[in-house]
Amino acid sequence: MSEHSPIPEGGVPAPPSGARPQVIVVLTDQQRWDTAGVHGNRAGVTPEFDRIAREGTLFEQAVTPNPVCAPARSSLQTGRYPTATGVFRNGLPLPGDIPTLAGEFTAAGYATGYIGKWHLAGDDNPDGPVPAARRGGYGTWLASDRLEFTSDAYRTVVHDEDGAPVRLPGYRSDALIDAAIRFVADHHDRPYLLFLSLLEPHHQNPTDDYPAPAGYRERYEGAWLPPDLAALSPGAEQGGAHRHLAGYLGQIKRVDEGVGRLRDALRSLGTEENTVLAWTADHGSHFRTRNSEYKRSAHEASVRVPLAVTGPGFSGGGLVRPPVSTVDLMPTLLAAAGLPVPPGVQGRSLLPLTGGGRDPERPGSVFVQISEDRVGRAVRTSRWKYAVEAPDADAWNDPGADHYTETELYDLAADPYELDNLVGLDSHRAVADELRRELLDWLVRIEGAEPAVVRAAARPSGQRRAESFPAGTPWEGVRFGHSPRG
């Protein structure tokens, strides 16, 4: 325990009525929404996440503003879309002149701490230490910019406020959660914001593997394979999701246990009821079934993430069904702490939606920007997904484009894993046109742009387009027909 925050004999007293809440964000890396039991997964890897969702508020259809690490993280720290932060792809630094989550909490007298993976220092910095000016305003610091390159499963190296390397013992997610427990213990007697950014269940880059703790991979061999991976991924002998998913789930199981230990610490400190705790992910993973990477596409596996929040304002908040964006998290946490939202924030607080509430000014859809693999945009409603791509854009250097072409249309009610692309079908032209107008409205509001959106080539209603299988599978280049549905 810190000598500055001793625990009195007899335990820690409950926070006084009306005390400002303490705030914790748990961010996983590359976690699909459908790994959670509350989303129907039967593998049993997320009992703690499920408990948070049941006790607090579950946002059933949460979507990242960009399915790439740095852009998504820039939005979480600023409440702005990636093109507004300037971090529209990996390798670009978070600007120092934009109000941030940590900056606003610090100005309100909160202690702030960041632990884990940052990925917002820019390519002109090394993988590990992050200069103070590029830490987004956080005070206590124990992180690496690209943690996947300074650590592996049992060798966790992060960097402190002075930029010195710190070796943390234990399995990587355990080591970071242990550090988080030390932070909350040291700051239990004052308001704080802690952002805990885990690497799991991201793959280990040099080996392209998912190193779960000893014995955890074995628990989930053959346990669960979602329909998109079952249909599109090559077999285990070819290195597909069939081979990797057990390790992926094992990593999530250990994270879930660690978050349970963190919540136990809050209970023991007497601060649980006054702590807002949010758990989400930067993006999902389609396991290279949609392109050559694990994300960077508009598909649910890539953009849809878990999001549950508990604590003051969220306990007993129930199930929020309309789609929301994680760009909304920054203003949500500020609102939960009673702090003003700074000008320029494009997200909206989610607090009005809890407990069956409504926000009449909230759009009925969410907006997604796509970069690196392509320059794309998408809009998602409760039922539909509509995506476009800029055919002539430089996917690495162009944040946007002046014209796009329709590439995807999915009916999520009938096809939740997006195996049946309806784009161009005469039967769905009116739906696509309505979504096209919705997308253009988003582009005007968020990017101040009015690009041309070219319709997909028309197809008769009976000609459904099945998704293609990835290169290297026995079915490469084959298209399977689908019978028309109403």
**pLDDT recorded at residue 205:** 77
**What is the CATH classification number for the domain harbouring 348?**
3.40.720.10
| 240-257 average pLDDT score | 93
- Integer angstrom CA distances of residue 317 from 50, 218, 272: 14, 36, 16
**pLDDT recorded at residue 17:** 54
Confidence of residue 234 (pLDDT cuts 50, 70, 90): confident
**What is the CATH classification number for the domain harbouring 423?**
3.30.1120.10
On average, the pLDDT of the chain sits at 91
In a domain, residue 37? The reply is: yes
In a domain, residue 366? The reply is: no
In a domain, residue 7? The reply is: no
| 278-296 average pLDDT score | 93
In a domain, residue 15? The reply is: no
Edge-to-edge strands of the sheet including 304-305?
304-305, 62-63, 324-325
In a domain, residue 12? The reply is: no
Question: How far apart (Å, rounded) are the C-alpha atoms in residues 303 and 285?
Answer: 8
Q: Give the residue from 66, 70, 65 showing the smallest Cα distance to 123.
A: 70
**pLDDT recorded at residue 294:** 87
Domain match, 150 and 298 both:
yes
In a domain, residue 8? The reply is: no
Domain match, 350 and 412 both:
no
Domain extent, residue 421, equals 374-466
- Number of domains forming the structure of the chain: 2
Domain match, 315 and 384 both:
no
Domain match, 351 and 383 both:
no
Domain match, 314 and 427 both:
no
Q: Is 106 exposed, middle or buried (0-12, 13-18, 19+ CB in 10 A)?
A: middle
Helix residue ranges per DSSP H, 324-479: 329-336, 429-442
In a domain, residue 212? The reply is: yes
| 29-37 average pLDDT score | 97
Provide the 8-state DSSP code for 324: E
Domain match, 242 and 346 both:
yes
**pLDDT recorded at residue 16:** 52
